[in-house]
Structure 1
Amino acid sequence: MADLLRTAPMAALKGLDTTLELTRHAQALKRQGYDFALRYYSHNAAKNLSLGEARALAQAGMRIGVVWETAGTRAGFFTRAQGLADGAAAWLMATQTIGQPFGSAIYFAVDYDPTQADIDGAISNYFTGVHAALYVANEGRPSYRVGVYGSGLCCGALMERGIAACSWLSQSTAFAGSRQYAEQKRYDMIQMLPMRIPGEDGIILDIDPDATHPDRDPGLFVV
């Protein structure tokens, strides 16, 4: 029996991501079968995950994922210095605001279709900066796994180089390498096209559906 349990396949988890604050909607989402919600760390308080929201999601039986996203929509944004700044800011939100447990992931968004040259240069430099910021913040001890949100080409390259520990594939199937990355199921999480779903009290929520890879740990957490 123990051997059967160890080899039994895991189920993919059903989730969503949104810029909307979900505190009042957590129970309604769980009733609709959502296992997790992905929310934001950023400099924009209006879209950020709050501690109360994180607790409401956890109390509803949902897991949480987080992504740092500000202006990562062009190559010029990505530098090592920007990675250092974003890594430090994400660390502060994770530790001081949310109490996110170590060992879970913080994803960093590459929200455009980068070229191979962009990935080899600016984007790799940015993620090197993120790692350095987390290393310094926790005095060289392991803390958060660094994830990447982006195209198949970007996710694949950063994963292969060990710059990212987990990948969340963007819904933009026209991005370089994304169709193949999805077909080969190389992702830890995959995002699908936007939709609208009911929340509490008849409120309609604009969300992007997501799913986890059944055999991988995408770094979700509870508080």
Structure 2
Amino acid sequence: MPDLIGMDCAKDYSDFAGAIKQAGVGFVGRYYRWPASHYAPLTYREAAALTDAGLCVVALWEWISNEISNFSYHDGFAQGSCAYRQAMTTHQPAATPIYFTVDNDFDPDQIAGPINDYFQGVADAFRAMGRGRSVYMIGVYGSGLTCNWLRNQNMAERCWLAGSRGWAGYDRCTNWDIRQAFDDLNIPGLAPGAEGDYDSDVGRPSYGGFQV
């Protein structure tokens, strides 16, 4: 099966769903959010609109994920619980991942310390929410170094490699499920890139998209 073309975006662009599909895009990455976020989270209504257009959805979680102060066991448990609840209300199917973002080029000690603790908190939250058995998989979005560490420690089952090629471990992360880029997908009304409306992505068959 060939790799899939996708995109991830901070806002609800379901009004563009038809144009996104016509541009050859197969999946859209959208975020669950902490209640204090000024961005609107992924909802069932948005997921249904994307599904109706023939697109798949990939779920991420993001909250101050570029600051190391956000990462601790307590933060992971609280945010994992919140993400799990939002996934259920969005009708996200079982056995699909939620990718938790680690959006900075953190060093090995930070990854092995507070970031690893954070993902342990997420795992415990998922088990608690599932009464001993989570229905969702845990994924990580981040640098190659972050992705490789967490997968090697069995803290993440899926990996979304950030598009920042200068971040540690980029070239050594070859077992990604999604790889981010900054290509122009030629979607009328939407601009690509870090300062635009979306980033482009490539997904392998294991990427974890779903429809509702």
SS at match of 1:178: coil
TM-score by length of structure 1 reads 0.88
TM-score by length of structure 2 reads 0.92
SS at match of 2:131: coil
C-alpha distance in 2, partners of 1:142/1:88?
11
Distance of aligned partners of 1:12 and 1:194 in 2 relative to their CA distance in 1, 3 Å threshold: closer
Q: Which amino acid aligns with 1:102?
A: A
Give runs of aligned pairs for residues 16-55 of structure 1, distance below 5 A.
Answer: 16-43=7-34, 44=37, 46-55=39-48
Structure 2: state its 5+ residue gaps: 192-196
Following TM superposition, by how much is the alpha carbon of 1:17 offset from its aligned partner in structure 2, in angstroms?
0.4
Q: 1:90 is matched with which residue?
A: 83
Give runs of aligned pairs for residues 135-154 of structure 1, distance below 5 A.
Answer: 135-154=127-146
Following TM superposition, by how much is the alpha carbon of 1:196 offset from its aligned partner in structure 2, in angstroms?
7.1
SS at match of 1:33: coil
Q: 1:114 is matched with which residue?
A: 106
Following TM superposition, by how much is the alpha carbon of 1:27 offset from its aligned partner in structure 2, in angstroms?
1.0
Distance of aligned partners of 1:220 and 1:196 in 2 relative to their CA distance in 1, 3 Å threshold: closer
Q: 1:3 is matched with which residue?
A: none
C-alpha distance in 1, partners of 2:134/2:88?
14
1:78 matched to 2:71: yes
Q: 1:61 is matched with which residue?
A: 54
Q: Which amino acid aligns with 2:12?
A: E
Following TM superposition, by how much is the alpha carbon of 1:50 offset from its aligned partner in structure 2, in angstroms?
2.1
Structure 1: state its 5+ residue gaps: 1-9
| Structure number with larger C-alpha Rg | 1
Q: Report if the CA contact (8 A) 2:79-2:122 is conserved.
A: yes
Q: 1:6 is matched with which residue?
A: none
Cα deviation code 1:70-92 (max 9, x no counterpart): 10112221000000000000011
Q: Report if the CA contact (8 A) 1:197-1:207 is conserved.
A: no
Alignment length (residue pairs): 205
C-alpha distance in 1, partners of 2:38/2:210?
21
C-alpha distance in 1, partners of 2:80/2:176?
22
